[in-house]
Amino acid sequence: MSDELEEQKLDARLEQLRRERQIRDEATRTAGRAMGIGFRIGIELVVGVAVGAAIGWALDDWLGTRPWIMIVGFLLGFAAGLRNVFRSVEKYDRKWTEAEAADKRQGKDE
């Protein structure tokens, strides 16, 4: 009888440890992912502006319209950079919202 009790206790402890570890793993993974995203989107904006302006500069050289196309290219590049940032964040946002909703559902079940 007491053996069974011990076993039950052990199972409970094991279960608790497993759950704690899962939470910890999840936290590390989220932090790592967030850092990855941060690294990704930072450059996006800078390069957008630089490339837009450079394309404009080259077209100005070719068409002799300095500085107008460069100004347009600058703005277009900025918009394109923002668009890329938005696009990459959008996907993660959707994923996170889904994960959160799933967590809530699970919480209710227990």
Site for other proteins, rule CB under 8 A: 35-36, 39-40, 43-44, 46-48, 51-52, 55, 76-77, 79-81, 83-84, 87-88
Cβ at position 70, least distance to other proteins in Å: 14
Cβ at position 38, least distance to other proteins in Å: 10
CB-based contacts of 28, cutoff 8 Å, min separation 6 = none
Task: Provide the phi-psi class of 68: left if phi over 0, else alpha when psi is between -120 and 50, else beta.
Answer: alpha
Q: Which is nearer to other proteins, 57 or 88 (CB)?
A: 88
The identity of residue 29, as a single letter, is R
Distance from the Cα of residue 73 to its chain's centroid: 28
Q: Which is nearer to other proteins, 66 or 92 (CB)?
A: 92
Cβ at position 37, least distance to other proteins in Å: 9
Q: Which is nearer to other proteins, 14 or 102 (CB)?
A: 102
Nearest of 99, 92, 84, 110 to residue 15 by alpha carbon: 110
